């Protein structure tokens, strides 16, 4: 009887031992899957700008069914390969082991239905067939272990980013100014007064993420999240709209007219910038490259309009073919300014783009109560000041600048429905499982 009992007893002991070993393998497989998903999505975000992607976009890989990774990858040729290589380097690259992926654009990952829509998602599965040892006596010759992880790129919930890592008042609302935002604020400054108000200034947003501290004359609601981690430029991978040497289409363009009829100009390279001293200037759809001089309006008699436009403010330090030092944009508080960014293409949702290598300075944007800026102010090295009585009312307005100061009244929306697939131009990386 003892001999008969030993057979099932050893079988049970073997089953426990093998199950424990398989659990260890599963943990290793899960680590490999998560490393693969993170590596792929980080590489994807770092190499592709914008969010208007399709499965035919260069650098975008889609797969509706599990697809095997190429074996023994040492030089990845795509973001998907980067993820595959990470999984393989975690020990899953031999016989009885498989790493597969599925990926797609502009939808919810099938494995995480509650994670929200993504501009891109990728799922890795790591599978291993495990030979059984002790429990083989019961006929269990092998077992299968599988783990899965999904990462995605989604539209950011914040729309105001102050990038300076240490400036006091990196986001500042002065005097009687009021800033009301439909989306969150991210203040990258570690200063104790990184986010603040002066005098009777008021600030309202659904979320405040601050690396440093908050110094306001009243308690913000909701309570700010202080001590968050530093971030990098959320638009760092967005390609520049133009590079030199620049050939001027116009030099020192200036409008001064008594006519009430808007004057149309076309996209191109404007050396010396664009000045509106009197009259209404309408920018027809396209990209305006300002090589030195910036864009300027003088007063309430100088107005600016344009739809589907991108204004790239740059400079040229060489003498040929044009030498133009960088000049910040300066739009008068009294002007009527009605500008909209394009809803398509690489720079969808980008309205103003300052050269990332420009010397530090401050862009000023104003406008009367009928003015609006629909798009993104992007000035990595520049301070940005909103002033005058501009309501900045538009479907959406995004600010990414070194520092941000408000001296007027601003109301920022977050309706991105007109943009590709309804996503913000700013992206965030999410591990959804």
Same domain, 379 and 276: yes
- Evaluate whether 277 touches 255 at the Cβ level (below 8 Å): yes
Residue 184, in any domain of the structure? no
pLDDT in tens, the chain (433 residues): 877 777 666 666 666 666 777 788 889 889 999 999 999 999 988 887 666 678 888 889 999 999 999 988 999 999 999 999 999 999 888 888 899 999 998 888 988 888 778 889 999 999 988 776 665 555 666 678 889 999 998 888 899 999 999 999 999 998 888 888 889 999 999 999 999 998 888 999 999 999 999 999 889 999 999 999 999 898 988 899 999 888 899 999 999 999 989 999 999 999 999 999 999 999 999 999 999 999 999 988 999 999 999 999 999 876 666 778 899 999 998 899 999 999 988 899 999 999 999 999 999 999 888 899 999 999 999 999 988 665 566 899 999 999 999 988 888 888 988 887 788 888 888 888 9
Which among 155, 189, 205 is the end of a domain? 155
| Bridge partner list, 125 | 100, 148
Select from 155, 170, 200 the last residue of a domain. 155
Helix (H, G, I), strand (E, B) or coil at 89: helix
- Clarify whether residues 281 and 369 are in a common domain: yes
Q: Is 366 a member of any domain?
A: yes
User: Of the candidates 378, 366, 214, which has an alpha carbon nearest to the alpha carbon of residue 304?
Assistant: 366
Asked whether residue 269 falls in the same domain as residue 130, the answer is no
In a domain, 190, yes or no: no
Residue 204 lies in a domain: no
Contact present, 355 and 363 (Cβ < 8 Å): no
- Residue 208 belongs to some domain of the structure: no
Candidates 205, 163, 201; CA nearest to 185 is 205
- Of 349, 158, 125, the residue nearest 238 (C-alpha): 349
Per the structure, the count of domains in the chain is 2
Same domain as 263, residue 408: yes
CA distance 103 to 81: 12
Does residue 59 lie within any of the structural domains? yes
Same domain, 270 and 416: yes
For residue 84, the enclosing domain spans 2-155
Last residue of a domain, one of 95, 130, 155: 155
Task: Judge whether 263 lies within some domain.
Answer: yes
């Amino acid at each position: 009887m003892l001999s008969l009992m030993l057979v099932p007893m050893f079988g049970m002991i073997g089953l426990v031992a093998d199950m424990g070993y398989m659990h260890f393998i599963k943990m290793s497989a899960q680590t490999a899957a998560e490393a693969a998903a993170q590596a792929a999505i980080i590489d994807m975000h770092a190499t592709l700008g914008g969010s208007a992607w399709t499965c035919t976009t260069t650098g975008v890989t889609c797969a509706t069914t599990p697809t095997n990774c190429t074996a023994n990858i040492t030089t990845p040729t795509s973001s998907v390969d980067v993820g595959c290589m990470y999984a393989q380097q975690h020990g899953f690259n031999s016989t009885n082991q498989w790493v597969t992926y599925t990926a797609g654009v502009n939808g919810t990952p099938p494995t995480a239905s509650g994670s929200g829509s993504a501009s891109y998602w990728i799922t890795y599965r790591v599978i291993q067939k495990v030979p059984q040892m002790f429990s083989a006596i019961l006929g269990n010759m092998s077992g299968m272990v599988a783990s899965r992880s999904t990462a995605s790129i989604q539209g950011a919930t914040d729309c105001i980013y102050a990038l300076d890592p240490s400036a006091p008042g990196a986001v500042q609302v002065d005097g009687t100014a009021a800033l009301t935002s439909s989306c969150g604020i991210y203040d990258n400054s570690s200063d104790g007064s990184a986010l603040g108000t002066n005098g009777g200034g008021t600030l309202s947003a659904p979320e405040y993420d601050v690396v440093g501290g908050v110094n306001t004359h009243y308690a913000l609601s909701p309570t700010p999240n202080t001590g968050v981690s530093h971030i990098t430029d959320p638009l760092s991978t967005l390609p520049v709209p133009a590079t030199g040497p620049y050939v001027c289409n116009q030099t020192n363009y200036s409008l001064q007219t008594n006519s009430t009829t808007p004057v149309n100009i076309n996209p191109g390279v404007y050396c010396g910038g664009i000045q509106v001293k009197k009259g209404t200037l309408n920018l027809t759809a396209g990209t305006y490259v300002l090589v030195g001089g910036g864009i300027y309006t003088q007063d309430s008699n100088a107005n600016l309009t344009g739809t589907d436009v991108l204004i790239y403010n740059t400079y040229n330090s060489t003498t040929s073919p044009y030498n133009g030092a960088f000049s910040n944009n300066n739009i008068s508080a009294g002007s009527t300014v009605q500008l909209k960014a394009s809803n398509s293409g690489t720079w969808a949702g980008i309205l103003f783009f300052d050269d990332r290598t420009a010397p530090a300075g401050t862009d000023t944007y104003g406008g009367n109560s009928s003015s609006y800026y629909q798009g993104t102010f992007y000035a990595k090295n520049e301070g940005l000041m909103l002033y005058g009585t501009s309501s900045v009312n538009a479907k959406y307005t995004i600010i990414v600048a070194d520092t941000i100061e408000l001296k007027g009244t601003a109301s920022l929306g977050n309706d991105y429905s007109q943009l590709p697939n309804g996503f913000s131009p700013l992206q965030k990386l999410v591990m959804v499982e």
